[in-house]
Amino acid sequence: MNKTSIELKQGVKAHIINTDLYKTDLTCIILTTTLKRETVTKTALIPFLLRRGTAKLPNQYLINKEMENMYGASFNCGIDKMGDNIILKFYIESISNEYALNNEDILKMNIENILDIVFNPIKKNNLLNEDFLAVEKDNLKKVIESKIDEKDSYAFDNCISTMYGEEGFGLYKFGYVEDIDSITIQDISEYYNWLINNCKIDIFISGKIKSHDMESLLNNNDNIKNLKPRIENYILNNEFTESKQIVENVKEITENMNVTQGKLVIGLDITSKKENLLASSLVYNAILGDGANSMMFQNVREKAGLAYSAKSTFVKQKMNIFIRCGIQIENYEKAIEIIKLQLENIKNGEFTDEDIENAKTYLIAGLKNVEEEQDTEVVYYIGQEIAKTNLSLEEYIEKINQVTKENILDVANSIQINTIYFLRN
């Protein structure tokens, strides 16, 4: 595998991943911009609208037909929250050129189609298609309203919003129902134009693409030619940028709902600034609650029997760890007590060299599996690019191997509880 990056224009990059591991080519366009309360709902609407048609393929039927002509290529799009930013993802996966029956250049078709979907949408009087807007506003409303159906994710999101409020990371990535009705076709069209002219743009192309001059192919595309240079409008989040305030009073939030199982989420801040903090935090989190060998799984779930599920999630962009448990509602106090005990035990060094090695083995196995799936590999490099860390998998593994017990103790002693959120009946 060989990865190179090309700056097409200021704020617009192409990342070429040459690999023989897959029989498919994957082109992914990532638009990254800052999460803001006043724009998050409009941002979430953009992929819903763009997927409906381009100037050349003005409806979904024709887009689907084009995918069929590319030997059953697949197109999809979505939204993710990454720290204080929202990323819009658009991708087409198609067979590699060597499998085309009539020597078609499927990769070129792949790239041209995805660029058209994102940068050349169907318009009328310089506005996005108004016929699509009402339908997609309704679809977005249903997506937002359905978040309550997944109670584990709902509790996790609410803990985050309690910690961060209506700024950046605290916002819900799909926006808010109360904003939807007021969005007009003029509003969304103006916002789309602003987004395309100001957001960070990354184009990832993965596959057997050695025979193509990618820089020339992209620079000669009219959609790329029409893009303006920009100062990337997004917030850099990584282990060096995040600064946590001392928590004077832990926030304790209880929400009542018709649930049969309580959902407990505890938000932790990592306040350390020591070297190699990201890797040390990963190993700490693996010992605490990521995996079947972790303290949360073994002590809270298995031995104490206090939780149906017990795990912890590390959010590296914000240097937070979230402990997440599904518990019987009457076990709330006991669960809090034993979870705090796990945190204290790690602070006191009550973990073994075997625990460290198990955590490292678990994490490294996950990193080695990144290359097994093409989209997972692309997602890895998206995260590296947005965080401006740009570590290869080998470099990432080396940093994990370098973590010592002293590093883990430093993380453990820098942990502070920020918020305790409990969803119960």
Predicted local confidence at residue 84, as pLDDT = 98
Residues 247 and 414: beta-carbon distance below 8 Å = no
Query: What percent of the chain shows pLDDT beyond 70?
Result: 100
**pLDDT, average across residues 108-125:** 97
Report the number of secondary-structure helices (H) and strands (E) in the chain: 16, 13
Over residues 373-392, mean pLDDT: 95
- Kindly state the average pLDDT of the residues 199-210: 94
How confident is the model over 153-191, as pLDDT tens digits? 999 999 999 999 999 999 999 999 999 999 999 999 999
Quick: pLDDT tens for 181-204: 999 999 999 999 999 999 999 999
Predicted local distance difference test score (pLDDT) of residue 306:
87
Contact 150, 324 (CB under 8 A): no
pLDDT score for 49? 97
Q: For a pLDDT cut of 90, what percent of the chain falls above it? A: 95
In tens, the pLDDT along 63-81 reads 999 999 999 999 999 999 9
pLDDT at 271: 97
Name the amino acid, one letter, at 98.
Answer: E
Task: Please answer whether residues 78 and 143 qualify as being in contact, where contact means their C-beta atoms are separated by less than 8 angstroms.
Answer: no
**Tokens describing residue 336:** 């809090």
Q: What is the DSSP-derived secondary structure letter of residue 315?
A: E
Q: For residue 313, is pLDDT > 80?
A: yes
Mean pLDDT across the chain = 96
Q: Are 15 and 235 in contact (CB under 8 A)?
A: no
How far apart CA 305 and CA 298 sit, in angstroms, is 9
Q: Number of C-alpha atoms within 13 angstroms, CB side, residue 147?
A: 17
What's the CA gap between 327 and 310, in Å, rounded? 9
Q: Region 316-333: what's the mean pLDDT?
A: 97
Rounded alpha-carbon distances, angstroms, from residue 14 to 28, 160, 238, 269, 352: 10, 33, 22, 34, 44
Q: Terminus-to-terminus CA distance in the chain, angstroms?
A: 52
Q: What is the pLDDT of residue 307?
A: 86
